[in-house]
Structure 1
Amino acid sequence: MNTAEVLVAGLEREGVEHVFGLPGEENEATMFALRDSDITFVPVRHEQGAAFMADVYGRLTGDAGVCLSTLGPGATNLLTGVADANLDKAPLVAITGQGGLESLHVESHQRLDVVDMFDPVTKWNTQISNPGIVHESVRKAFKTAEFEKPGATHLELPEDVADEECEAEPMDPRQRVRRPEPDAPSVETVRELLADAERPIVIAGNGAVRTDASDDLRAFVESYDLPVTATYMGKGAVSDDDDHSLLTLDSGEHEEASDAIESADLVITVGYDIAEHDPADWNPAGETTVVHVDSEPAEVYENYDPDVEIVSDIASAVRELDACCDEIDAEFESDWYDDLRDHILADVTPDREEGDPFTVKQVLPVLRDVMADDDVLLSDVGSHKMAIAQNFVTYEPNTCIISNGLASMGISVPGGLSADLAVDSNVVSATGDGGFMMNAAEIETATRIGCGYTILLFRDDEYGLITEEQVEHRGEHFGTELKNPDFQTFAESFGIEAYRPDDWDELETALAEAVPSDEMSLVEVVLE
C-alpha cells in the first residue's frame, strides 16, 4: 500500500463511516484510497461546509467527524469549522493535502504553512512527513480529538509522501481515555458546603451533555431538590419538563435564572466552560461560593474563581455527590425558586392573537409541538439563536445544538446534513437569512446523498442581531440590511418542498407536514 492507503485504512480501523470534503490535485491519492475503502466520501460545495458537517457529527456522536481538503484555499476554507469544533469541544479530524516536500522550502503555488495555521485552533496537528509515521499519526489524531475534553486535530499529507510505498500497519483503537474518579477530600469539602447551604443551585454546561452525565445529574438535583439552569450548550442535560429546571442561563430577555443565582448561597457548576457564558453575568463581584465539577481545572478568571474544584470524570463526581445526600440529610425546599420557574415558563409560551405577525419567540412553541422529545434542533447563529437558546424548551441532551464557543454563522444547513446521518430522529435546521446564504449550496449536497431534514428559515432581510445591538448602543444601525432571493423558488430549484406560510394556521400545517417527513424541505418564516 501507499501512505494514503494506509491513512485511509487507519480511518476504517477508527470506525469512520463518512468523510466530508472536496477533491484537489494534492489529495488525489487519498481520494482514490477512499474510493477503494468502505468509507463514504461526501463531496461538498465548500470546505467550510465540510468542516461544519464533521463538527456537528462529532458533537452528536462523540466520535470524531472527518473533513478533507486540498492545500491552500481548501485548507483556509476548513479553518472556521475546525475552530468552531475546537471551541465547542466537538471531536473532529481534519485532513489536508500539501505540495511535495521538495517544493516546501521555496515560495510555490498555493503554498501556505498549513500546520502552523491550524495550530491555534486544534488540540494537536502534524505533517506526515514520511510514510513510517502515518499509522501513529492517525491513531494520535483520533485519540487526541476524542478524549475529554474533545476537540479538533489535523493531519497534513504532502502529495509525494502520499504516493510513497508504506510498510506501516494501521493501529487499532483502544478503550478511550477516561478521567479518574473524584478525589475524596474535594468531595468531602463539597459535602460540607451542601450541609451548610440553604439555597444551592446547579449550572449545567456543555460537559454535562458531552460526557453522558445527564442521568446522574438528574438524579442529583432530584435527591437534593435543587434548581438547575443550563448554558446554551447544556440544554437538555436536565429536562425542561422537570420542576427543577429554570431553563437557560441568560442575561437577556428573561433574567430569572440569573436572579436565582443571585439569591443562591452556593453554585455548583457541572461541565461548565467560561467560553459558553461569561461568569461576569452571574457572578459580577466574584463573591459567590462556587464548586467546579469538570474534567479539567477551571480557567483563571476573577469572576470565576471556584472555592472547590472536583476534577474528574464528571458523571462519577455527580454520583459521588448524590451519594452524600442521605449522609447529610440535605433536602432543600423549592419554594424559593418555584415562582421564578413559573415566570420563565409563562415567558417562553407567550399568548398570541391570530393576526399577530411572526416572531421567532412565538414560532418556537409551534415547532416544539411537532417535534418529538428526541428530535434534534440545530440552530445557526443570529438573533434567532438567542431566542432558541432562551425559549426553546428542551427535554433530552444533545437535542438542541447551539454553537456558542466560536458561534459561527453558516453552520446550520451543512450541520443538518451530518445530523441527519448521525441520528435516527427528525432534524430541524433553524437559520436566519444571513447564515443561510453563507452555506445554502449544501442543500444540493444533502439532496444528492439522500438526506431528509427541515430547514426553518427566519427572514428579516438584515443581520438582525447586529442591528439590535447597534440600535441599543447608538440608537441607529448601519451596514446590516440585506436583499434576498425568492427563497421558495430557490429551494424548489434543488427539487425540495418549500413553504411560505402567511398566517399561524398555515405555519402549523407546514411544520406538521415538513418536520416528520423523510424528505428535504424548507419553511420560510417572514419576520416583521
Structure 2
Amino acid sequence: MVNPDPSNDRHPPQTNAAELMVQALQAEGVKQIFAVPGEENLDLLQALHDSDIELVLTRHEQGAAFMAATYGRLTGRAGVCMATLGPGATNFTTCAAYAQLGGFPLVMITGQKPIKTSKQGQFQVVDVVNLFKPITKLSHQIVHGDRIPSQVREAFRQAEEERPGAVLLELPEDIAREPVHAEVFQRSVRAYAEPSPEVIDQVADAIRQAKHPLLLLGAGANRQEIGDALCTLLSCVPLYFCSTQMGKGVVDEAHPRCLGTAALSAGDYLHCAIDRADLIINVGHDVVEKPPFFMEHGGKTVVHINYRSAQVDPVYFPQFELVGDVAATIEALSQRLDGLTIDNAYFGRIHDEIRAQLSEGSDDERFPVVPQRLLAEVRAAMGPEDVIALDNGIYKIWFARNYPAYRANTVLLDNALATMGAGLPSAMMAAMLYPQRRVMAICGDGGFMMNSQELETAVRLGLNLVVLILNDGAYGMIRWKQAQQGLSDWGLTFNNPDFLLYAQSYGAQGHRPNSAAQLRPVLERAFEQGGVHLVDVAVDYSENQRVLIDQLQQKVCLL
C-alpha cells in the first residue's frame, strides 16, 4: 500500500481573534502598544509577539495610558494601550477622562473573563464597558471574532475624528481564542469641508466693522496646518492675539502682537485687552478649558471657528460659527481681510505692560528658588523645538503665564481634566517620539510620586529625559487656595524620599542644586550626558500671593 502524500493532511494554521485584532491594529498603522498585560490578555500578547508592533511594558496602567494619550496628542493618530480586566481596566479610568476631556485620540483594549462559560464565577469581573461609557466616545465589548475588523476601524474613526477622544474595546478571553475568517478593513480618507463663501463673507464684514478685534487660540487650534494658516492670517491682518493654556505655541509667542496666555480665568493683564475687544475671533475654543472671557447679552461679538459647532452655555453663545476645515476657513478669511487696518494702540500698550511684568524676578537670587527665576532658567536651557511636559500644580499657572512657547505642542500641559500623575509619562512619550530634542518633565513632588515608578520604564527604554521635581513638601496648589480662603494651614504637607537615592535605585542619575545659579548648569550637564536624570530643586512659592493676587488686584485697565 502506498502512503499518501503527507502534505495532503496538512491544513493552513487558522487565525484566531487575537491575531485578527493585531492585524486590524497594524492596518491602522499602530507601531506601539503600551501595556500592563494580564492573564486575560495572553492570546493577544502572543499575537503581538508574532507581529511588528512593539510592546512597551510600563509599571502601572496609568503610565501606559498616559503615554498612549500623549502619542495621540502629538501625532493626531490614536495611541493604543492594553490592560487586563478588573483592576487593570479600572486603572485606565483617569486616563480615559484625561484623553476625553483633553481631546486626545486614545484606544484602550482590555481583557475579560470568558463570556460563554467560566469556572471562576464573578472573580475580578467588573462591568467595564458600562463603567467607561460616560468618559469615552465609544465603549464596546467584542462578542464575535469576525466583527473585529469593523469594530477596530470604528474605534479608530471615533477616537481620531474631531473632536478626538477616548475609546475602549473589551476582548474577552474566550473570544480572543476563537477561529475567525474575516479580513481587516483599511483606513478611510477623511476630509473636512470649508464653510460656504457667503458665510465667510458675512464674518469678514463683521470683522471689518469691529473697532478692536482680537484673536483667541484654544486647544482645538493645536494642529500644524492651523498654525500655518494663522501665520498667514497674521501676516495679512494686524490682529493682536492671545491663547488659552492648551493653545500655547500654536503661533510663536515671540510674535510682536502676542499678548501671551490666559493662565488665569480673569483679572490678569491680558484680560484688559479681552475686555476692550468688541469682537473676538475664537479659533479652536473648547468648553473643557476655563473660559478666558465671559459673554454677556448685548456685549462683544464672538466668531467661533472650529471643526464642530459651539457647545452653548451661559457664558459662551457665539453669534457666528464657521464649522468645518479650520485651516481652510482661516485662509479664506485671510484673503477677504488682506490689507485691513486696525487701531491697535491700546492693545500695544497692554502688550508692553505684559512683557515688562513677566520679565520681573527672572534674575532673583533667592533660594529655595522662586518661580520667576526657575522659569527663566528652564526657558534658557530649552530650544524652540524642545518639549516640556507639566504635571499639575501651582507651577502650571506660572509656566502657562511666564514661559513663552515658540512651537506648537512644545508645552504639554493639561487644562482639561488637570490630573496629577501625567507629567512623567507624557514626557516619556515625547522623548520616544523626538529623540533629537531636549525633553523635560516638570512635576511637583506630589504629582511625581503618583507615577514615579515609570522612571524604571524610562531607564529601560534608554530614553534621554530630564525630570525636574519642584520640591515644597506639600500639595502646594491646594495649600495656596487654603491660604487664600483664610483657612488653617493644615493637612497638606508630607515627607519625601531622598529623590537622588530614589533616582539611583532605578538606574537614573540624581542632582540637587543648592542655589538658583546652579540650576541651569545642572540642567545643561544632564542633557549633555544623556540618559534619565532627576533634578530635585527646592522651590519657594511665597511669590504666589504678591504676583498672582496682590499685584493683579492693584492693576487698572485704562479702557
The two structures share one fold, judged by TM-score above 0.5: yes
Secondary structure class of the residue paired with 1:212:
helix
Q: Which residue in the other structure is 1:247 paired with?
A: 260
CA distance in 1, matches of 2:70, 2:89: 19
What aligned pairs does 1:60-139 form with structure 2 within 5 A after superposition? 60-102=74-116, 108-139=122-153
Secondary structure class of the residue paired with 1:457:
strand
Q: Which residue in the other structure is 2:310 paired with?
A: 298
Q: Which residue in the other structure is 2:347 paired with?
A: 337
- Structure 2 residue identity aligned to 1:62: G
- Structure 1 residue identity aligned to 2:375: L
CA distance in 2, matches of 1:479, 1:247: 35
Secondary structure class of the residue paired with 2:104:
coil
For 1:368-424, what per-residue CA distance to the aligned partner results, in whole angstroms no more than 9, with x for missing partners?
111110111111011111111111110001111111111110001111111111224
CA distance in 2, matches of 1:387, 1:252: 14
For 1:413-440, what per-residue CA distance to the aligned partner results, in whole angstroms no more than 9, with x for missing partners?
1111111112242211111001000000
- Structure 2 residue identity aligned to 1:493: S
Secondary structure class of the residue paired with 2:322:
strand
- Deviation of the 1:6 alpha carbon: 0.6
Structure 2 residue corresponding to 1:36, chosen from 50, 54, 61: 50
Secondary structure class of the residue paired with 2:199:
helix
CA distance in 1, matches of 2:492, 2:156: 41
Q: Which residue in the other structure is 1:259 paired with?
A: 272
CA distance in 2, matches of 1:305, 1:517: 52
For 1:213-253, what per-residue CA distance to the aligned partner results, in whole angstroms no more than 9, with x for missing partners?
00111221232111111111100011110011111013369
For 1:250-271, what per-residue CA distance to the aligned partner results, in whole angstroms no more than 9, with x for missing partners?
3369712111010011001001
CA distance in 1, matches of 2:378, 2:123: 49
For 1:42-74, what per-residue CA distance to the aligned partner results, in whole angstroms no more than 9, with x for missing partners?
111110111101111110111111110000000
Deviates more, 1:245-254 or 1:357-366: 245-254
Aligned length: 524
Deviates more, 1:335-344 or 1:15-24: 335-344
For 1:183-206, what per-residue CA distance to the aligned partner results, in whole angstroms no more than 9, with x for missing partners?
223212211111111110011011
Structure 2 residue corresponding to 1:422, chosen from 417, 433, 445: 433
CA distance in 2, matches of 1:210, 1:150: 12
Q: Which residue in the other structure is 1:231 paired with?
A: 244
Structure 1 residue corresponding to 2:514, chosen from 492, 502, 507: 502
- The 1:274/1:515 distance shift into structure 2, 3 A limit, reads farther
- Structure 2 residue identity aligned to 1:156: E
Secondary structure class of the residue paired with 1:458:
strand
Over the matched positions of the two proteins, sequence identity in percent amounts to: 38
Secondary structure class of the residue paired with 1:181:
coil
CA distance in 1, matches of 2:440, 2:266: 24
Contact 1:221 1:228 in 2 (8 A): no
CA distance in 2, matches of 1:365, 1:83: 33
Structure 2 residue corresponding to 1:151, chosen from 137, 152, 165: 165
CA distance in 1, matches of 2:225, 2:448: 31
- Deviation of the 1:325 alpha carbon: 1.5
For 1:151-202, what per-residue CA distance to the aligned partner results, in whole angstroms no more than 9, with x for missing partners?
1111100000000111111211122x22211222321221111111111001
Secondary structure class of the residue paired with 2:222:
helix
Deviates more, 1:487-496 or 1:393-402: 487-496
Contact 2:283 2:305 in 1 (8 A): yes
Contact 1:371 1:515 in 2 (8 A): no
Secondary structure class of the residue paired with 2:107:
strand
Structure 1 unmatched ranges of 5 or more: none
- The 1:408/1:282 distance shift into structure 2, 3 A limit, reads same
Q: Which residue in the other structure is 2:222 paired with?
A: 209
Contact 2:456 2:507 in 1 (8 A): no
Contact 1:123 1:152 in 2 (8 A): yes
Structure 1 residue corresponding to 2:479, chosen from 467, 484, 490: 467
Contact 1:268 1:293 in 2 (8 A): yes
Contact 1:240 1:247 in 2 (8 A): yes
For 1:87-144, what per-residue CA distance to the aligned partner results, in whole angstroms no more than 9, with x for missing partners?
1111110000001012589960011111111111111121110111011111111121
Q: Which residue in the other structure is 1:402 paired with?
A: 413
- Deviation of the 1:363 alpha carbon: 0.7
Structure 2 unmatched ranges of 5 or more: 1-14, 541-559
Q: Which residue in the other structure is 2:63 paired with?
A: 49
Q: Which of structures 1 and 2 has the bigger CA Rg? A: 2
Q: Which residue in the other structure is 1:520 paired with?
A: 532
